[in-house]
A and B are shown apart, each in its own frame.
Chain A
Amino acid sequence: MEQNKKVFGIAALYDSPNAIIKAAKTVTDKGYKNFDVHSPYPVHGMDKAMKLPPSKLGFVTLAFGLSGAAIALLFMYWTMTIDYPMIIGGKPFFSLPAFIPVTFELTVLLATLSTVIGMVTFFFYFPNNSHPIHDTNYMKSVSIDKFGLCIEADDEKFNEEEINKLFTDLGAIKIEKIFFPDKLNVKILEPKFIGLLLIVAAFVSVSTYLHLNKVLYLVPFNWMMDQGRLDVQSSSELFGDKFGMRNPVKGTVARGFMPYEYQGVNEPTSPLSNPYLPTKENLSLGEKKYNSFCSPCHGNLGDGDSRLRGQFPLPPSLHSSKSRDWLDGNLYHVIVNGQNVMPSYSSQLSREERWAIVNYIRVLQRAKNASEADIQEIKKEPVTNVSE
């Protein structure tokens, strides 16, 4: 019955690595092309004996490695600087050092996976479990401890007798003829197989549905919120009044807050003294704040000429002798406390800003009521305006 089968090739087994190297060399030198050596492990020097060109696998690795790097960098560039730029840690949008780790990992991932997949599919044409050489005694020997050489029937110089002789001369311990296997009759439309496919499909669909529609929207467990500490406005057994929230100790001063002792007093007799010198910075701050908060009613120069066209009662002039003779502290008091219809500005202006306004008002008053000496002074040396 063997005669009916097509011959794949003739294979010989050898006992030692030296013998197989010699055999491979001879077969190559005789000009056979379609032959292969089979050994349980790679035998050193075989590449040279078989005159194999160096493997080109490295180029696959290089190409995919470089594209991995490029993909990673471009993708990070696009997401982090174009699609949704966000400042992270005060670094530039495209901060290369921070992108190097991911770039490196993607390079390695693509390079290695492509090497292996490329080797298995394009260099080996795997998976291939129906090769004629499988399940032969020859294969079983080379799998363990023998070294085999198989010349295939489609080689131009294929000639059974010649090859048999060649193998024997080279010291073969066994020669075997390998045939193509019978065609297997594989039915694709087998009910069992289709059933399996259906089960897999159903399982995948149901689990995908459940995951995307149910699991993703599970309400998170919130037991973590119950912690052994007092929440705001919860009661406490520790204190007599059962209040969890406590008042601060008497006399506590909040950070950045300076208590004002004349709050609500009308014209204090011994008000605060001005802690700020009318420096250039202080005056320019005062001018800015005066123009923002005071000038709408008091007028740009403090003449009491409101810009509000009677929508609010006109205030008195700041150049009256009363206000000119007032101490700085009195002016400050009015800003903090308010007076008549003027409300308190303590929430809008900081302590420094209030004193700066007081200083600026003094400048306005002196400018509007300049004495002879002042005019002489200005004429003597052309001093630039403080508010330049």
Chain B
Amino acid sequence: MNIDYSQELPVVEGRLTLREINDLIARPMDERPNKKYFIALSFTLSLLFIGAISVALTLYYGIGMWGNNQPVGWAFDIVNFVFWVGIGHAGTLISAILFLLRQKWRTGIARFAEAMTIFAVMCAAIFPILHTGRMWVAVVYLLPYPNQHSLWVNFSSPLIWDVFAVSTYFAVSLVFWYVGLIPDFATLRDTTASKIKKVIYSIFSLGWRHSHRNWQHYEKSYMLLAGFATPLVLSVHTIVSFDFAVSILPGWHTTIFPPYFVAGAIFSGFAMVVTVLIFVRKIFDLENIITINHLEKMNKVILATGMMVGYAYAMEFFIAWYSGNPIEQFVFINRAFGPYAWAYWIMVSCNVIFPQFFWIKKIRRSIPIMLMIVIFVNIGMWFERFVITVTSLHRDFLPSSWGYYTPTLVDFGVLIGSFGLFFTLVLLFTKTLPVVSISEVKAVAEGAQPSHNGGDH
């Protein structure tokens, strides 16, 4: 297929009119969910139920129900936390960074990706809060609150930075998402036939009138939010990487961690977004709005970030040797050839080798192969965090305290539950809110902008 480089690819395919776009996106909210939807929902709810039981066990018996014990004091909890926070990065990346880069193709997927961010951060928050033990008093030692003992949280601790970073990230993502939704709520309010829905939409639309005097500030605020969300998204995973990297543990303490974690987060986040979008565009007939070109572009990003992650793996290995520090060298040899070698090689093959297939254009545009690869990437990125956390801990400086970490059933239960929560929320979202931004897609449709906009100004 030859591309004509002198023409821009249309973002919305099929030459839809504005009204058609409107109806297409708003339709899932007006139709009664079908049987398939309920089958899917019951599946995710059962996963969630497994998670709920595991959380209940953890709360009742304490976190002794988990497999982590000396020397591996951090395991599934931090692995899952970092995994979910990483997934959450794609959303803000798509909505903020691609917005600043003026990539118009983002409009089709931004809303969905942002929603996934919010859900993913909710899933991520489960783990550290559970790990505090008595989570109902967690607020006392996670947030600085005035007290008569003058006892404050330790602002030099990366774990407290995490609290600030993740909660800020959640708040800002939510606000960003909501700001994007306001005009859509207004449109739904004006199109819906149901009275109850109309009341709900009216409340959430805040009385939006599509007035240009408002659009002007609105666009400015969107730009400002994007400008803030971009460094924020970088900072969150940077701070997550600080959890490890400020320590002196070989395998954790290495200076490349911040950019490496951010690249990994984008990598895993895009993989998850592609995974979900493949189904969503099919089920809701959004193939003209979330086109194969969108998916191809995302696959290119996955390829690029996958190689960045590969670069970091290689760099870590090289510098471990180059440092001349025998302990550093041991940790990396142990990682690749020690008892957890299986995890390491799963990680390398899923994250570095499989994405290389995306060099081939046919594969980038083939839905089944793409789906397979992005699922591998999801698995690989989970294992990356597992490898970093567990292999560095399980053989520490004293050979007498070496051990082997095995997760318990409860560990798996909470992990499964987090997936259940995530997909349940995703399913509910698809039926209650427009999965694609109505106003943004309209704005990039063909002929949506005045033609005499050229010339110097």
Contact = CB atoms under 8 A, between A and B. Distances in A.
To the question of whether A and B form a pair in one complex, the answer is yes
Interface of A: 16-18, 21, 24, 36-48, 50, 52, 55, 57-58, 61, 65, 75-76, 79-80, 83-84, 86, 88-89, 91, 95, 98-99, 101-102, 104-106, 108-109, 111-113, 115-116, 119-120, 123-124, 126-131, 133-134, 139-140, 142-145, 211, 215-216, 218, 220-224, 227
Contacts of B179: 116
Interface string B188-213: 01110000000000110111111111
Given A41-B448, A218-B134, A108 B18 contact: no
Contacts, number: 226
Contacts of B133: 220
B206 A102 contact: no
Nearest to B242: A101
30 contacts: A17-B447, A37-B212, A40-B210, A42-B219, A55-B216, A55-B217, A80-B155, A80-B156, A99-B155, A99-B156, A101-B165, A101-B239, A106-B168, A112-B175, A112-B228, A113-B172, A116-B221, A126-B207, A126-B208, A127-B207, A129-B205, A129-B206, A133-B209, A139-B210, A143-B187, A144-B22, A145-B18, A221-B61, A224-B61, A224-B64
A224 B152 contact: no
Given A108-B228, A133-B209, A221-B60, A57 B221 contact: yes
A127 B220 CA distance: 19
B217 A57 contact: yes
Contact of A89 (B156, B186, B212): B156
Contacts of B449: 17, 43-44
B92 to A, nearest CB: 12
Given A38-B211, A80-B155, 7 more contacts: A38-B209, A91-B156, A102-B161, A108-B232, A115-B221, A115-B224, A140-B190
Contact of B155 (A58, A98, A123): A98
A98 B159 CA distance: 12
Interface stretch (B291-299, B363-371, B438-446): B438-446
A101 B154 CA distance: 13
B3 interface: no
Contacts of A222: 62
A137 to B, nearest CB: 10
B2 interface: no
Given A105-B168, A220-B134, A39 B156 contact: no
Nearest to A220: B134
Given A119-B217, A129-B207, A106 B164 contact: yes
Nearest to A217: B137
Contact of B207 (A37, A134, A215): A134
B450 A44 contact: yes
Closest 8 CB pairs of A and B: A145-B18, A143-B190, A41-B443, A224-B64, A128-B207, A37-B212, A55-B220, A101-B161
Given A37-B212, A127-B207, A139-B209, A144 B187 contact: yes
Contacts of B165: 101, 105
Interface of B: 17-19, 22, 60-64, 69, 133-134, 136-137, 144, 150-152, 154-158, 160-161, 164-165, 168, 171-172, 175-176, 179, 183, 186-187, 189-191, 202-203, 205-221, 224-225, 228-229, 231-232, 235, 239, 242, 438-440, 442-443, 447-453, 457
Most chain A CB inside 10 Å of its own CB: which residue of B150, B161, B217: B217
A43 B450 contact: yes
Contacts of A127: 203, 206-207
Contact of B440 (A39, A41, A44, A140): A41
A119 B235 contact: no
A316 to B, nearest CB: 52
Given A101-B239, A145-B17, A61 B224 contact: yes
Contacts of B155: 76, 79-80, 98-99, 102
Given A79-B155, A123-B217, A223-B62, A145 B22 contact: yes
Nearest to A226: B64
B225 A18 contact: no
Contacts of B190: 139-140, 143-144
B160 A36 contact: no
Contacts of B22: 40, 144-145
B450 A17 contact: yes
A40 B17 CA distance: 13
B64 A40 contact: no
A52 B17 CA distance: 29
B216 A40 contact: no
A124 B158 CA distance: 39
Contacts of B151: 84
Contacts of B232: 105, 108
Given A101-B235, A140-B190, A83 B62 contact: no
Contacts of A55: 216-217, 220
A18 B450 contact: yes
A108 B231 contact: yes
B441 to A, nearest CB: 9
A50 B212 contact: yes
A227 B157 CA distance: 30
A123 B391 CA distance: 54
A17 B219 CA distance: 18
B379 to A, nearest CB: 30
A111 B63 CA distance: 38
Contacts of B228: 61, 65, 108, 111-112
B37 to A, nearest CB: 26
Contacts of A75: 144
B156 A105 contact: no
Most chain A CB inside 10 Å of its own CB: which residue of B152, B203, B215, B221: B221
Contacts of A38: 209-212
Contact of B442 (A40, A109, A116): A40
Contact of B235 (A43, A105, A124, A126): A105
Contacts of A18: 450-452
Contacts of A144: 18-19, 22, 187, 190-191
Contact of A223 (B61, B136, B442, B443): B61
A78 B235 CA distance: 24
Contacts of A143: 186-187, 189-191, 210
A98 B158 CA distance: 8
A145 to B, nearest CB: 3
Contacts of B224: 57-58, 61, 111-112, 115
Contacts of B440: 41
